[in-house]
Chains A and B, each alone.
Chain A
C-alpha cells in the first residue's frame, strides 16, 4: 500500500464510520423518550441537585461514576422513600457508620433527589443491573420456608437488613435479633417503629396483624 492510499483510507474510512455513528445517534435520540418516564419539573430539580452536590464524585448511576459508594440506578426500588429523604439530609444521624458526609441538603432538595432517582429507576436499562444469580436461585428452590421467612422476603426486609451476612446494611443486622428483643417489642415495632426507636427511619410494615405475628415468630428464632 502506498502512503497516499493509506492516508486516503484513514480520511475517508473514518468519515464513513463517523457518518454511520451520526445516523445511529439520530435514531437513538428518537427512541430515548419512549424508554423512560416523563421528566417532570421535580425530576429536573433533582437532577440539578445531583450535579450541585457532585453525587457522581462517589456514587455511580447507570453504572457510571466513581465506584466509591453504591450504584443508585435502582435504589428507590429497594429503599423506602422516607428512609432515603432522612438519610440524604443527615446520613450519620440515620446510620452512625455511614461514610456519606452531611452536605446540608435541604428537605426540598432531598425530595427532588428522590424523585430524580425514582425516574432513573424506571428507565429501560436492558435489565441492568442483573438480579444476583445465587440470591434469586435461593428464593426459588431449596428447603421449605416458614410463613415468617416467606413474609421477610415478600416484604423486602432484606433490602435494608442483614441475616447471616445476606442483605442490606442500611438498617440494623437482624442475625441475633431474637436474643435481644421480645415478642411484644417486635410486634409493636412493626406496627409503628417510631414509637420504639426515636427518630426511626423505618416505615411502618403495612401487613395484617396475622402476618406481623408470623414475622415476629421468625425474628424470635434468630438467636
Chain B
C-alpha cells in the first residue's frame, strides 16, 4: 500500500491535530467526571472544562473529516490537489485559530470578567453550548472551511470524475458549512436563540455529519475489501437520502419544550422515530459487503469500520430513539439520559469513524504494507468496553434522576449529591479506562509503520 498522489500526505497533518485534541478532550473529560463528585477539584471550573471537552471533540472530528476528505478527493479524482500550499495554509490557520480559542477559554476560566462584552460581543466565549467559540473565531473558521471546500471542488474540476462518493462527501461538507451560519447571529429571545442553535447542532450531527459518514463508509468498504463501487454507491445514496428524510424534520424533537408550538410534537416524534432506519441500513451494508471477501489485508481498518457502523446505530439510533417520543421525553428531557445518548452517539458515529479512516489511509500515507495490529485492537477494546460502561452508568443515573426528581419531586441537588454518587464514581473509573485506550491509540498512531517488522508480518515481540 502506498499513496499515488503526494498531496494525500496533507491528511496526516489533520489527523495528527485530531489525535492530539482527542487526547486533550478525554483528559479534560476525566477531570469533569471527578468534578461531578468534587466540584472544586481543579483550578478551572466545570463550565470551562466542559467547554473544552465538547469543543475539542467537535474540532478534532472536523479536523479528521477534512484530512479524510482531502485524501478521498485525490483518490477519487485521480489527481493531485488543486493547490497543496493552500491546503497547508488552511491547516495551519485552523491550528492557530483553535489554539487561540482554547487560550481564551482558559483565560476566561481564570478571570471570568475578561469575557465582558466589547461592543456587544463576548471576546472569549459566546456562552452557547457547543458553539462557544467567539464571533471572531466563527468568521475565521468559516473562511477556513470555505477555502477547504473550494480547494476540494477545484481538484474535482481538474479531472471531472464525478464519482458518487466524492460528490456526496463534498455535499455533506457544504451542508455542514451552511448550517454553521444560523449560530452566528445574536437574538434577544432565548427561545429563538435555542431554535437556531438546534439548526447548527442537530443538522450537523443528525444531518451533514451522517452524510459524510455515509460517504466515508462506502469509501472505506471499497478500500479495505475491494467491494464494487456501483453497489456501494447505490446503497450510499439510499442511506444518506433516508438520513435527511428523517433527520431534517426530526429536528422537531428538540422543539417540544423550548417555547415552540405544539405541532412540533407530532412532526418531531414521527420523523425522529424513523432516524435509526438509515443507521441500521448502514450496519447491514457493512456486513453484506464484508461477507463478500474474507481475505482482507488491513484487518484493523475493516474491524473499526464495521464497529463504527454498529455503534453508530446503537449510540445515535437506539439510545436516541428510546427517549425521542414527546410522551417519554417530557420526563427524560434535561436529564442524564441525554448525556448517555450523547456519549455513545458521538463515540459510535464519529469517533470510531475518524479512527477507521485513519486506519484505512494511514498505512498508505506512511508507505507500509504491514504494521503491528495488536495495539489497534487493544485500544479498541479498552475504549469500547469503557465507553459502554460509562454510558450504562450515566443511563442508570438518568433513570434514578427521572424517577426521583421528575416523578417523586426530590430536589436536583439531593438526587445528584446523594442517590447518584456511586454512578459518578463508577463513571470516573471507566473514564480512566477510556483514557488508557486513547493512550494506546495515540502511541499506535505515532508508531504505525515506523517500527521494524519481522518477515512474517508479526511484530518481534509476538514471536
Contact = CB atoms under 8 A, between A and B. Distances in A.
A71 interface: yes
Contacts of B255: 28
Nearest to B127: A51
Contacts of B256: 126, 128
Contacts of B164: 3, 7
A21 B261 contact: no
B126 A51 contact: yes
Contacts of B335: 67
A34 to B, nearest CB: 10
Interface stretch (A97-105, A179-187, A188-196, A203-211): A97-105
B47 interface: yes
Interface in B206-240: 230, 233-234, 237-238, 240
Interface stretch (A10-18, A82-90, A145-153, A215-223): A10-18
Contacts of A135: 408-409
Given A39-B189, A128-B257, A21 B47 contact: no
B251 interface: yes
Contacts of A61: 190
Contacts of B140: none
Nearest to A139: B409
B414 interface: yes
Interface stretch (B86-94, B112-120, B359-367): B112-120
A162 B193 CA distance: 35
A60 B416 CA distance: 14
Interface in B322-364: 330-331, 333-336, 338-339
Nearest to B235: A6
Given A3-B230, A32-B259, A135-B409, A47 B190 contact: yes
A201 B108 CA distance: 29
Interface string B403-415: 0011111111110
B50 A68 contact: yes
Interface in A28-73: 28-29, 31-33, 35-36, 39, 43-44, 47-48, 50-58, 60-71
Query: What DSSP secondary structure best describes chain B's contact surface?
Result: helix
Interface in B102-137: 108, 112-113, 115-117, 120, 122, 125-129, 132
Nearest to B401: A67
B456 interface: no
Which of A32, A60, A63, A103 gathers the greatest number of chain B CB atoms within 10 Å?
Answer: A63
Given A24-B267, A39-B188, A101-B45, A52 B127 contact: yes
A18 B144 CA distance: 26
A133 B334 contact: no
B258 interface: yes
Nearest to A12: B241
Interface stretch (B152-160, B242-250, B373-381): B242-250
B408 to A, nearest CB: 5
A68 B333 contact: no
Contact of B237 (A10, A56, A168): A10
Nearest to B254: A64
Contacts of A51: 122, 125-128
A58 B190 contact: no
Contacts of A36: 189, 191, 259
A165 B50 CA distance: 30
Nearest to B335: A67
For the side of the interface on B, what is the size category? 35 or more
Contact of B122 (A17, A52, A132, A134): A52
A28 B260 contact: yes
A43 B230 CA distance: 57
A123 interface: yes
Nearest to A18: B248
Interface string B26-50: 0000000001100110000111101
Contacts of B412: 69-71
Given A51-B126, A56-B127, A99-B39, A62 B258 contact: yes
B408 A44 contact: no
A53 B264 CA distance: 31
Contacts of B128: 51, 56
Which of B125, B256, B333, B409 gathers the greatest number of chain A CB atoms within 10 Å?
Answer: B409
Contacts of B40: 99
Contacts of A69: 412
A178 interface: no
A136 B334 contact: no
A2 B237 CA distance: 11
13 contacts: A3-B233, A3-B237, A9-B238, A9-B241, A10-B168, A24-B267, A28-B264, A35-B260, A47-B193, A50-B190, A60-B334, A68-B46, A130-B331
Interface of B: 35-36, 39-40, 45-48, 50-51, 108, 112-113, 115-117, 120, 122, 125-129, 132, 164, 168, 188-195, 197, 230, 233-234, 237-238, 240-241, 244-245, 248-249, 251-252, 254-265, 267, 330-331, 333-336, 338-339, 405-414
Among all A-B residue pairs, the 3 with the closest Cβ atoms:
A57-B47, A135-B409, A63-B334
Interface of A: 1-3, 6-7, 9-10, 13-14, 17-18, 20-21, 24-25, 27-29, 31-33, 35-36, 39, 43-44, 47-48, 50-58, 60-71, 99, 101, 103-104, 116, 119-120, 123-130, 132-136, 162, 165-169
Given A9-B238, A36-B259, A53-B127, 14 more contacts: A3-B164, A6-B241, A35-B261, A36-B189, A47-B188, A52-B115, A58-B50, A67-B336, A68-B36, A132-B405, A132-B408, A134-B409, A136-B409, A169-B411
